[in-house]
A and B are shown apart, each in its own frame.
Chain A
Amino acid sequence: MSIYEKYMRIDKFPHIWCPGCGYGIAMKSVMRAIDRVGIKNDDITMVSGIGCSSRTPGYLDFNTLHTTHGRALPFATGVKMAKPEMNIIVVTGDGDATAIGGNHFIHAARRNIDMTVLVYNNYIYGMTGGQYSPTTPQGKFATTAPYGNIEPPFDVCNLAAAAGASFVARGTVYHAVPLDKLIEQALRKKGFSVVEVLNPCPTSFGRRNKQPTPVIMMNWMKENCIPKVKYDKMSDEEKVGKIPIGVFVDIEKPEYTEQYQLLIDRAQSLAK
């Protein structure tokens, strides 16, 4: 049995994603990472919000919870607190995680609750047909930014790091092999781990921004996403338009559910 058969709900295919969408590549990367860590299907709860990316849990044979737009992290927090032994993977889009779910995102990171959060960033609202998101670069076009976006974007990794995540990384679906490794590291990390996954959305983003085919979008990632080690050595002029990928944060700090167990122990010994 291939590892994909082990983790997929084969009978739920075909999937809903457009041809050329990167979510299938990302999903396979997640499966390979899980397999390397060796987590049993039943010990994983995969939680998502609403969006194209958030449909991922439906295709995977875990305990799966497809919630409301932006709210995956609160639901995941409830599951994790009730069952701390459960491995939690959250799948969320850039709009889901940083717009409607922005508050939940920073607070889950601040608490440092143990879960792996995959923020699939395609710079756009895919599912609703291409409106601009908090990560849409300035000047890019969207159905609701017909004159070009004037809002400065969030950097998902900076946001996660500033809010207190204990592991933060960025990968792309073009760089699938390194992506496996990043997700694996995130899964192994005890604490709030974020992997931003850059993903081509030819349908809703590319078409409006002079990247009309999946191949053009993939090539754009290949040329502009630079390993962090190399990026850090580049001059300011060289950095323009380039995006670093790799691990940004990997630190040890107290994890929420472990702290809560200590609190329970304290409360129970006081009660005696």
Chain B
Amino acid sequence: MAKKKVFLQGNEACAEGALAAGVKFFAGYPITPSSEIAEVLSRRLPMVGGKFIQMEDEIASMGAVIGASLAGAKSITATSGPGFSLKQENLGFACITEVPVVVVNVMRGGPSTGLPTCTSQSDVMQARWGTHGDHPIIALVPWSVEESFHLTVRAFNLSEKYRTPVILLLDEVVGHMREAIEIPDPSELEIVNRKKPTCKPEEYLPYDLNNEVNPLPAFGEGYRFHVTGLNHDATGFPTNDSKLVQKDEERLMNKLLNHLDDILTWEEYMTDDMEILVYAYGSTARSAIAAVKQAREEGIKAGLFRPITLWPFPDDKTREMVSKVKKVIVPEVNLGMIIGEVKRVSPKEDINIVGVNRADGETIVPQQILDKIKELS
């Protein structure tokens, strides 16, 4: 079947991506600028036999998607800043219990209620560190409507493959802008489903330390296991055995860190001979690419690196990029968050790493980045 060409908003593309990935359950609480995802799914899910529920708040929504996922349904929730803060408690639960779910956060200004209708990239650290305790997380950041579709599919695939929550960070600009995109035929998409156990129920271990990722049956399939947010042993029951807990925490981290090749994705533009690196993600990378092209026209050798997987952070690749140049610009719609990660991994030679920042609800325009490129060149 031919590809379908459609004119969509980023949020709508995200909902379409979820449907393409086989989502069967959505629970959420309305919040600007994410509500279109709920609206589309409230209409479309019942058509495919799926379920939509508007819960009483974001805490409840996060609990409901975890419950639905344990009962076997691919599940998603969508929110924005303040709602994302409320989800953190149960997001941590999904991390420690290793339940696949997709959480979309369409970023707006903040802190607190902040700027409901304006863009921001200030939840990038909340995505990594928002919930308490040690845990790994995957976060993906699209820069276009088309990529919102594909990264939603990928978010489901990664969450199913690694039994982990995956966060999709749109910013308001990506969520609300409209672009013509191609929706591929379902047969062209790679869809990953969680591994189910094949052993006898009495032999099943949901948290076997010897496996990075254990198979996950749905409730009611004959494998009766215990799920708890307490640190647990291989059977899933609470334990205080410090050796065991340490090992399990390390397994939790390593199940992602051992597979960075599979999880990390990025794009590079004109980086081969670059002398100035622009390091940008999400909608800011759109301004960055325009600035880089303009700089090239003016004879300045600028290049763009765009991480698509933001967490786990692409340490090695970032170091490699930064090592090629003496000057790095990190534009972000926040007062400096990912720049800290870039500095963390950069070799401590005389590399000048500077930010272009704003937190006033406006996007960073190409000229601002170009000005900075010129200033440094």
A31 at the interface (CB under 8 A from B): no
Contact of B70 among A62, A73, A74, A79 (CB under 8 A): A79
The interface bits of chain B over 222-238 (1 if a CB of A lies within 8 angstroms of the residue's CB, else 0) are 10111111100000011
Check A107–B67 contact: CB distance below 8 A.
no
In the complex, chain B residues 39-53 whose Cβ is within 8 Å of any chain A Cβ: 43, 46-47, 49, 51, 53
A260 close to chain B: CB less than 8 A:
yes
B310 lies within 8 A of chain A by Cβ: no
Q: Which of A254-272 contact B (CB under 8 A)?
A: 260, 263-264, 266-268, 271
CA distance A41 to B75 in the complex (A): 25
CB <8 Å contact, B220 and A81? no
Distance to closest chain B CB from A235 (angstroms)? 41
A271 to chain B, nearest CB (A): 5
Chain B residues closer than 8 Å to A81, beta-carbon distance: 25, 51, 53, 64, 68
B65 near A: Cβ within 8 Å? yes
Question: Is the CB of A67 closer than 8 A to any CB of chain B?
Answer: yes
- The reply on A12 being an interface residue by CB < 8 A is yes
Residues in B with CB closer than 8 Å to A47 are 67
Q: In the assembled complex, which residues on chain A have CB atoms less than 8 Å from the CB atom of B237?
A: 12, 58
Residue of B nearest to A256 (CB): B53
**B219 part of interface (Cβ distance < 8 Å):** yes
Query: For B189, what are the chain A residues with a Cβ–Cβ distance below 8 Å?
Result: none
Closest A residue, CB atoms, query B222: A42
Contacts of B70 in A (CB 8 A): 63, 65, 78-79
Chain B 203-221 near chain A by CB (<8 Å), digits 1 or 0: 0000000000000001110
Q: A82-B68, A263-B46, A264-B49 are in contact. Are A68 and B63 (CB under 8 A)?
A: yes
CB within 8 A of A71: which of B24, B59, B219, B220? B59
B279 contacts chain A at the CB level, 8 A cutoff: no
Q: Are A64 and B226 in contact (CB under 8 A)?
A: yes
| Interface size range on B against A | 35 or more
Say yes or no for A136: interface residue by CB 8 A criterion: no
Tell me whether B226 and A58 are in contact (CB under 8 A).
yes
Q: Does A77 reach chain B (CB closer than 8 Å)?
A: yes
Give complex CA distance A34, B104 in Å. Answer: 39
**Which residues of A lie under 8 Å from residue B46 when comparing CB positions?**
260, 263-264, 266-268
User: From residue 58 to 111 of chain A, which have CB atoms closer than 8 A to chain B?
Assistant: 58, 61-68, 71, 73-83, 85-86, 103-104, 107
A107 to chain B, nearest CB (A): 4
Q: A43 interface residue, CB < 8 Å from B? A: yes
In the assembled complex, the Cα of A85 lies from the Cα of B72 at a distance in Å of 13
Asked whether any CB of chain B lies closer than 8 Å to the CB of A206, the reply is no
Q: 18 A-B pairs, CB-CB below 8 angstroms?
A: A41-B224, A58-B226, A58-B228, A58-B238, A67-B90, A68-B89, A68-B93, A71-B63, A74-B61, A75-B66, A77-B55, A77-B63, A78-B63, A78-B65, A78-B67, A78-B68, A79-B219, A81-B68
Q: Using A68-B90, A74-B63 as known contacts, list a sample of 10 further A-B pairs with CB atoms less than 8 Å apart, ordered by residue number in A.
A: A45-B71, A57-B226, A58-B238, A65-B219, A71-B60, A77-B53, A77-B64, A78-B70, A263-B46, A266-B46
